[in-house]
Structure 1
C-alpha cells in the first residue's frame, strides 16, 4: 500500500463503511474503507501541506484511484489550491474519474468561488457532456455559485432544458430547482408553472421544496397543487 492508503486504513470504521455502502449503491463496496469525512479533510490538509513526504504529485497523477476515500482525498487536495489556473487544471484532470454523487458534490474550491464567472464557462460545457457526474457537477456550479448575488433568470431555462435518463442527473436537477424556489421564488416558480421540466424532475422538485425549511408554508401549499401525472 501507498503511504496515503496506509493512513486511510488507520482510520477505518467498519460500521461507517456499512453506512457508506448503503448510501452509495453505485460504488463497489470492496473499494470503500469506511473513513469519516472530517478525518478525510484533515488528512488531505496534512498531505497537501507536506506534499513531498506524501508524494502528492504522484498521487494526483495516479488516476483512477483504487479506493473510494482516495477520491475524496484527491478532491479535498484540489479544494486547497489557491491559484485558480492550477486548481482548474487539476480538477479537469480529475473530473472524468468522478464516478459517484458523494465525491461529485463535495468539491467546492475557494478558487472557484473567487473566479465563478470563469468556472461558469466550463459549467456550460459540462452540462452538455454524456458523462453523468460531469453533468451533475455542471448543475452543481449553477446551484452553488449562481443562485444568490450572481443569479441570472436565464440560468433557470438553461438547467430546465437538460434531459437525461440518469437518476443522479435528474436528482441534481430537482435539487437545483428546489433550491431556486427557496432563493429566487418569483423566477423559479415560473419554470414549475410552465411545466418546463420532465414530469419526474418536476414532481421531485416540488417534493424537495415542500420538505425544505427555506420555503414558506404558503409557497409549499401552492406547489402541492402543481404536481403532474408522470
Structure 2
C-alpha cells in the first residue's frame, strides 16, 4: 500500500515545481515536487480508510510524505484526546516553515475546541526547538486573533524569546495580523513590547505592506522603527 502511495507521489511530481519549492524552503532537499491540491486530495482518500495504521507505518523519507501525514491528522475523525496525541507525535517532525504552516492550517477542528487547543499549544511557545515554537505561533495567528483572545495573544507573543529566524518571522506576521484586525488593542502594545529589534521592525514592515492600512497610519507605524 505504502509503496503504491509513494509511486503515486512520484507520478504526480513535477520537476519545475520541485525546483521552485526548494527555493522557498532552503535546506530541504527531499522534495518531490507534488502540488498542494494533489496532496490534499490524497489526504482525503487516506483519511477515509485505515488512517491510524497509515500514521504509524507509512514512511517519511520525502517532504511530501511528512506533510501528507500532517494533512491526514487534520482530517481524521477521532476523539479530541487522540487528535492531540497525534499532533504531539507530529510536531517534532516539523523541520521547515512550509510543513509547519500547512499543518496548522489543516487543524480546523481547533475552532470547536478553542480552550483545549490553547492550553495544548501554549507550552510549545517556550520550547527550545525552533519549529515547535513556530507551530504554536502560527496556531495563534490562524485561530486566536479574535475578540475573545486578542489580549492574551498579544501577551503570549510578547513572551516568545526563541532566536530562530522562522520564529521571529512568525511572531512578526502574527503581530501584523493583530494590528490589522485590532488596531486599538495593538497600538499601545507596539510602543511598549519587549520584542527584539529585528522582530519588532519586521512586524512594522509587515503592517505597512498591508493594503488595509492608510498612508498616514503607515507613516506613523514607520516612526516606531528601532
TM-score (norm 1): 0.90
State the match for 2:110 in structure 1. 112
Does residue 2 in structure 1 map to residue 3 in structure 2?
A: yes
Question: What's the counterpart of residue 120 of structure 2?
Answer: 122
Q: Tell me by how many angstroms 1:63 deviates.
A: 7.7
> Aligned residue for 2:48?
49
Distance apart, 1:50 and its partner CA: 3.1
Counterpart Cα distance in 2 of 1:182 and 1:159:
16
Instruction: Find the counterpart in structure 2 of residue 132 from structure 1.
Output: 130
Residue of 46, 63, 67 corresponding to 1:68: 63
Counterpart of 1:158 in structure 2 is 156
Deviation at 1:62, TM superposition (A): 4.0
Question: Which residue pairs with 2:171 in the alignment?
Answer: 173
Q: Secondary structure of the equivalent of 2:64?
A: helix
Aligned-pair CA distance for 1:197:
1.5
* Partners of 2:97 and 2:166 within 8 A in 1: yes
| Pairwise CA distance, 1:169 | 0.5
Distance apart, 1:152 and its partner CA: 3.6
* Contact kept in structure 2, 1:63 and 1:97, CA below 8 Å: no
Of stretches 79-88 and 156-165 in structure 1, the one that deviates more from structure 2 is 79-88
Comparing 146-155 and 185-194, the one that deviates more: 146-155
Q: TM-score w.r.t. structure 2 length?
A: 0.92
Superposed displacement of residue 191, structure 1 = 2.1
RMSD after superposition: 1.7
Q: Which 10-residue stretch deviates more, 190-199 or 149-158? A: 149-158
| Long gaps (5+) in structure 1 | none
In the alignment, does 2:86 pair up with 1:90?
yes
The offset of 1:25, in angstroms, is 0.3
Gap runs ≥5 in structure 2: none
Kept after mapping to 2: 8 A contact 1:135/1:169: yes
Aligned to 2:20: 19
Q: Is the 8 A contact 1:81 1:111 kept in 2?
A: no
1:181·1:209 contact (CA, 8 Å) conserved in 2? Answer: yes
1:127-164 Cα offsets, whole Å, 9 max, x none, are 01111111111111221221114324132122112112
- Which sits farther off after the overlay, 209-218 or 109-118? 209-218
Q: Is the CA contact (8 Å cut-off) linking 1:13 and 1:34 kept in structure 2? A: yes
Tell me by how many angstroms 1:212 deviates. 1.4
| Counterpart-to-counterpart distance in 2, 1:44 and 1:70 | 10
Q: Deviations over 1:43-81 (max 9, x none)?
A: 111122233xxxx43331248710000112111101112
TM-superposed deviation, 1:109: 1.7
Count of residues paired in the alignment: 222
Asked whether the equivalents of residues 73 and 87 of structure 2 are also in contact (C-alpha less than 8 Å), the reply is yes
> 1:96 and 1:48, CA in 2 relative to 1: closer, same or farther beyond 3 A?
same
Residue 106 of structure 1 aligns to a residue whose secondary structure is helix
